[in-house]
C-alpha cells in the first residue's frame, strides 16, 4: 500500500464485483477512508450526514440519466460540499466533458480501464488542496461582504497546479458576484488559463447580468475554437427564449446529434415541437425516444414524465371544461402512469401516488362542479404542498392549483419554484422545468398587473436575502408587464445601479431614465430618480 492519503472518499457503485475491485484499488493507492454507497438513495442519505472530499462514480447508470444531471441534482439539494471533487469513470470521456455541471472544483474523468498512475496523481493533488479549500470555504461562508473581500484579497498560494489555480479563480469570481462586484468577477475569470473553462464562466456571468451582446460574442469565440458545443447550444437557446422564439430554439437544438441527447434534452426539444407544431407531434417524438433504450429505466422514466407534463400543460392551456378533452387527458395520464409502474414496482412511486390521484380528480372536475368538491380537492392539495420534495411534485401541485382555479396557491407554489442548478450553471432540465412552471403561472394569472405585483414583491424578498441577480430578473419582469408603474421602474433602475450595470437584456439604463421622467411620481420618487440619474452620469 502507498503512503496514506488524508481524504475521505465516497464510492457509488451498485455492482459487487466492480465495487470490490475499486475499493481494493483505492486502498492500494493510499485511501484508507473509503465509504460505499450501493445506490443513489444510499448516497443521498450519506451526503446528508457527512461531508466528503471525493465522490467517485460511474458516469452512466440505470439510476440517473447521466452523471452531470445527477451532480446538478445533488447541488440543487445542497448535498455536495463545495470542496468535494467529483471523479467520473467513463469509456467516453469526451461525452462527459460536453455538459459538465458548473462547480468551483474541477470535475475529472478517468478512462476505463482505469489508469492507476493518473488516478494516484489526481488523488494526491486533491489531498494537497482539500484542506486549503475547506478552510477557505469555512471563512467565506461565515463572513459578511466586507470580510469576504478581505479573504479573497489574501487568497494567494504558491505551487498550485493549473487546475488548482483555475479553481481558485472560479471561487474568487463566484464570491465577487455574490457581493455584487461584477467587473471584478469578469476580470478574475480572464486569469483562468483553460480556454473552455474560461469561456464557460464568461457565458455564465454574461447570462447572469443579461449582457446579450457579449454573450453572443463569447459564443462566436467558442464556435471558432470548437469549444463545448452542447453548452453553446443551451446558451443560444436561452437567448432565443428571451424573445419567445421557439422555432429558432428548435433549429439550434437540431444541430446537436439526436443520438447524443440526454433524457432532459429530449424533453426540452419536445417543448419546442409542442410550441411550433402540436401536442400530438410532441408526444409522437417522445414515444420515439422511448424506443431508443430498454435498459436505462431512469431515462425512460424522465421521458414518460415529460409526456405527462406536456399533456397536462396542453390541457391547462386549453378549455378544460370540455368533457371530451377531460376524458382524453385522463386516459393519457393513466396510460403513462401504467407505463411508469411497469418500469418500477409500486413502492418506487409510492410517494407520487397521492399526487397522481389528485391530478386525475382535478382533470375530471368540470366547470359545473359543486363547491364542496373543489373545497375537498383543495384541502388535499394543501396537504400535499407539505410533502413536496422534488420539482415533479411541485409541478403536479401547480397543475392542480390551476385546474382548481386557486390563484393564491398557484402563486405560492410558483414563488417557491425549485432551482435545479447553481448560480453559474445552465441545463436542459432547468430550462424545461422553468418553461412548464412559467406557462402554468401565466395561465392562471392572466392579469398582467397582478403578475407584475407578484414579481415586484418576490424581488424585494430576494433583495432582503442578498440574492441580487434573482431580484434583478424579477424586477425586470415586473417592469416589462407594467412599464408605467414608477415603483417597478425605480426598483429595476436601483438594482441595476447597485450591480453597476448599464443594461440588462432588453433594458438600457438611459432608456429607463428617459421613460421615468415621463411618468407621474410622488416627491420622494422624484428625488430618488434624480439620485439615480446623477449616479448614472458618474458611471458613464
Count of alpha carbons within 13 angstroms of residue 405, beta-carbon side: 11
Q: What is the pLDDT of residue 350?
A: 87
Question: Does residue 376 sit in the same domain as residue 417?
Answer: yes
Give the whole-angstrom CA distance, residue 315 versus residue 329: 7
**How many CB atoms sit inside 10 A of residue 116's CB?**
12
1, pLDDT greater than 60: no
CB within 8 Å of 262: residues ≥ 6 apart: 65, 66, 69, 99, 299, 428
**Residue 540: per-residue pLDDT:** 58
Strand partners, 213: none
Tell me if 108 sits within 8 A of 122, measured CB to CB.
yes
Q: Residue 3 is placed in which grid cell? A: 503512503
pLDDT for position 93: 85
The strands making up 54-58's β-sheet, listed across from edge to edge, are 31-37, 5-12, 54-58, 85-90, 108-111
Average pLDDT for 408-437: 92
- Domains contained in the chain, number: 3
Provide long-range contacts, Cβ within 8 A and 24+ apart, for 190-194: 192/166, 193/162, 193/165, 193/166, 194/162, 194/166
Task: Quick: pLDDT tens for 210-234.
Answer: 999 999 999 999 988 888 888 999 9
Residue 216 resides in a domain: no
Between β-strands 85-90 and 54-58, what pairing exists: parallel, antiparallel or unpaired? Answer: parallel
368 pLDDT above the threshold of 70? no
Q: Which of 195, 139, 138 is nearest to 166 (CA)?
A: 195
C-alpha separations of 370 from 367, 410, 444 in Å = 9, 21, 20
Report percent pLDDT > 90 for the chain.
64
Cell of 499: 450591480
Is residue 102 domain-shared with residue 136, that is, in the same domain?
A: yes
Burial level of 513, CB count in 10 A (0-12/13-18/19+)?
Answer: middle
> Does residue 197 belong to any structural domain of this protein?
no
Report the alpha-carbon distance of residue 43 to residue 10 in Å, rounded: 8
pLDDT in the model for residue 361: 94
In a shared domain, residues 505 and 434: no
Looking at residue 461, what DSSP letter applies?
H
Are residues 423 and 467 both part of a single domain?
no
| Average per-residue pLDDT for the chain | 91
pLDDT digits (tens, 9 = 90+) for 37-47: 999 999 999 99
CATH code at position 67? 3.40.50.2300
Grid cell for residue 161 = 497546479
Phi and psi at residue 229, in whole multiples of 5°? -60, -35
- Is 43 in the same domain as 83? yes
Residue-wise pLDDT tens digits, 100-117: 888 888 888 999 889 899
Domain end: 142, 169, 203, which one? Answer: 142
What is the average pLDDT across 510-515?
A: 94
Q: How many CB atoms lie within 10 A of CB 524?
A: 9
Flag whether 152 is in a domain.
no
Q: In terms of DSSP H, where are the helices of 91-194?
A: 93-97, 116-141, 145-153, 162-178, 182-189
Task: Say if 296 falls within a structural domain.
Answer: yes
Query: Which H helix or E strand runs over 442?
Result: helix 428-444
At 277-336, the pLDDT tens digits run 999 999 999 999 998 876 778 889 999 999 999 999 999 998 656 778 888 999 999 999
Residues 531, 427 within the same domain? no
Is the pLDDT at 356 greater than 60, yes or no?
yes
Domain boundary among 424, 446, 468: 446
Nearest to 79 by CA among 102, 107, 46, 56: 46
Q: Residue 317's closest CA among 274, 360, 365?
A: 274
**Lowest mean pLDDT segment, chosen from 247-261, 344-358, 521-535:** 344-358
Q: Is pLDDT above 60 for 268?
A: yes
253 found inside a domain: no
The DSSP code for 180 is T
Per-residue DSSP letter, 417: P
Residue 425 shares a structural domain with residue 502: no
Read out DSSP for 233-250?
HHHHHHHHHHTT-HHHHH
Q: What pLDDT score was predicted for residue 149?
A: 86
Per residue in 151-165, pLDDT (tens digit) is 888 877 778 888 888
Question: 24: part of which helix (H) or strand (E)?
Answer: helix 16-28
Question: What's the residue count for the chain?
Answer: 540
Residue-level pLDDT at 293: 73
**Strand, coil or helix: what is 12?**
strand
Whichever domain contains 529, its CATH number is: 1.25.40
- Last residue within a domain, chosen from 142, 170, 194: 142
Q: What is the tens place of the pLDDT at every residue in 60-100?
A: 887 777 888 889 889 888 899 989 999 999 988 888 887 88
Give the separation between CA 301 and CA 314, rounded to whole angstroms.
Answer: 20
- Residue 107 in contact with residue 135, Cβ under 8 Å? no
8 A C-beta contact, residue 57 and residue 88: yes
- Whether residues 364 and 302 share a domain: the answer is yes
In a domain, 200, yes or no: no
Picking from 136-145, 270-279, 391-400, 438-447, which range would have the lowest pLDDT averaged per residue? Answer: 136-145
Q: Do 484 and 436 share a structural domain?
A: no
Q: What is the pLDDT of residue 429?
A: 93
Q: Which helix (H) or strand (E) holds 400?
A: helix 391-403
Do 272 and 250 contact (CB within 8 A), yes or no?
Answer: yes
Residue 182 has pLDDT above 80, yes or no: yes
- Residue 154 is predicted with a pLDDT of 82
Do the Cβ atoms of 218 and 203 come closer than 8 Å?
yes
Confidence of residue 476 (pLDDT cuts 50, 70, 90): very high
Give the Cα separation of 2 and 4 in Å (integer).
Answer: 6
* Residue 209 included in any domain: no
| Nearest residue to 67 via CA among 90, 38, 45, 41 | 90
- Cell of residue 327, nine digits: 376524458
Say yes or no: 440 and 485 in one domain: no
Q: What is the pLDDT of residue 320?
A: 56
Query: Looking up cell 467565506, which residue turns up?
Result: 140
CA–CA distance, 416 with 391 (Å, rounded to integer): 10
Residue 218 lies in a domain: no
Question: Is the pLDDT at 539 greater than 70, yes or no?
Answer: no
**Domain region containing 18:** 1-142
Residue 366: per-residue pLDDT: 66
91 lies in the same domain as 71: yes
Distance (Å, rounded) from C-alpha 27 to C-alpha 370? 67
In this prediction, residue 260 has a pLDDT band, given cuts at 50, 70 and 90, of: confident
Query: 439 and 535 share a domain?
Result: no
CA distance 124 to 143: 30
* pLDDT value for 369: 64
Amino acid at each position: 500500500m502507498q503512503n496514506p492519503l488524508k481524504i475521505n472518499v465516497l464510492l457509488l457503485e451498485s455492482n459487487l464485483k466492480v465495487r470490490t475491485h475499486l475499493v481494493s484499488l483505492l486502498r492500494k493507492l493510499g485511501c484508507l477512508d473509503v465509504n460505499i454507497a450501493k445506490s443513489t438513495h444510499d448516497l443521498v442519505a450519506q451526503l446528508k450526514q457527512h461531508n466528503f472530499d471525493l465522490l467517485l462514480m460511474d458516469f452512466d447508470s440505470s439510476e440517473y440519466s447521466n452523471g452531470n444531471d445527477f451532480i446538478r441534482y445533488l447541488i440543487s439539494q445542497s448535498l455536495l460540499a463545495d470542496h468535494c471533487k467529483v471523479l467520473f469513470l467513463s469509456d467516453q470521456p469526451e461525452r462527459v466533458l460536453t455538459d459538465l455541471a458548473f462547480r468551483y472544483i474541477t470535475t475529472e474523468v478517468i478512462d476505463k480501464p482505469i489508469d492507476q498512475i493518473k488516478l494516484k496523481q489526481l488523488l494526491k493533488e486533491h489531498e494537497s488542496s482539500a484542506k486549503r479549500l475547506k478552510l477557505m470555504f469555512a471563512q467565506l461562508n461565515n463572513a459578511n461582504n466586507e470580510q469576504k473581500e478581505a479573504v479573497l484579497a489574501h487568497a494567494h498560494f504558491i505551487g498550485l497546479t493549473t487546475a488548482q489555480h483555475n479553481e481558485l479563480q472560479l471561487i474568487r469570481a463566484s464570491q465577487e458576484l455574490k457581493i455584487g462586484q461584477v467587473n471584478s468577477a469578469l476580470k478574475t475569470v480572464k486569469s483562468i488559463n483553460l480556454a473552455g473553462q474560461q469561456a464557460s464562466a464568461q457565458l455564465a456571468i454574461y447570462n447572469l447580468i443579461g449582457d446579450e451582446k457579449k454573450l453572443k460574442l463569447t459564443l462566436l469565440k467558442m464556435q471558432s475554437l470548437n469549444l463545448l458545443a452542447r453548452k453553446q447550444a443551451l446558451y443560444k437557446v436561452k437567448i432565443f427564449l428571451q424573445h419567445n422564439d421557439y422555432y429558432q430554439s428548435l433549429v439550434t437544438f437540431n444541430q446537436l446529434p439526436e443520438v447524443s441527447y440526454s433524457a432532459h434534452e429530449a424533453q426540452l426539444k419536445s417543448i419546442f415541437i409542442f410550441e411550433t407544431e402540436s401536442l400530438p407531434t410532441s408526444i409522437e417524438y417522445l414515444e420515439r425516444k422511448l424506443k431508443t433504450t430498454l435498459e436505462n429505466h431512469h431515462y425512460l422514466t424522465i421521458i414518460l414524465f415529460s409526456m405527462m407534463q406536456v399533456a397536462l400543460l396542453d390541457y391547462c392551456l386549453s378549455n378544460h371544461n370540455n368533457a371530451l378533452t377531460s376524458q382524453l387527458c385522463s386516459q393519457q395520464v393513466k396510460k403513462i402512469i401504467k407505463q411508469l409502474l411497469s418500469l418500477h414496482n409500486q413502492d418506487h412511486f409510492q410517494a407520487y401516488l397521492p399526487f397522481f390521484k389528485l391530478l386525475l380528480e382535478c382533470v375530471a372536475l368540470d366547470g359545473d362542479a359543486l363547491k364542496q368538491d373543489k373545497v375537498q380537492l383543495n384541502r388535499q392539495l394543501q396537504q400535499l404542498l407539505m410533502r413536496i420534495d422534488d420539482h415533479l411534485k411541485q409541478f403536479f401541485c401547480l397543475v392542480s392549483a390551476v385546474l382548481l382555479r386557486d390563484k393564491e396557491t398557484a402563486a405560492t407554489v410558483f414563488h417557491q419554484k425549485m432551482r435545479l442548478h447553481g448560480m453559474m450553471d445552465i441545463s436542459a432540465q432547468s430550462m424545461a422545468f422553468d418553461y412548464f412552471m412559467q406557462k402554468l403561472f401565466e395561465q392562471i394569472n392572466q392579469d398582467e398587473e397582478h403578475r407584475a405585483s407578484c414579481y415586484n414583491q418576490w424581488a424585494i424578498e430576494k433583495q432582503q436575502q442578498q440574492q441580487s441577480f434573482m431580484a434583478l430578473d424579477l424586477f425586470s419582469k415586473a417592469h416589462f408587464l407594467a412599464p408605467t408603474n414608477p415603483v417597478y421602474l425605480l426598483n429595476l433602475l436601483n438594482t441595476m445601479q447597485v450591480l453597476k450595470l448599464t443594461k440588462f437584456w432588453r433594458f438600457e439604463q438611459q432608456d429607463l431614465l428617459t421613460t421615468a421622467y415621463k411618468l407621474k411620481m410622488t416627491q420622494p420618487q422624484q428625488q430618488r430618480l434624480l439620485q439615480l440619474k446623477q449616479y448614472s452620469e458618474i458611471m458613464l
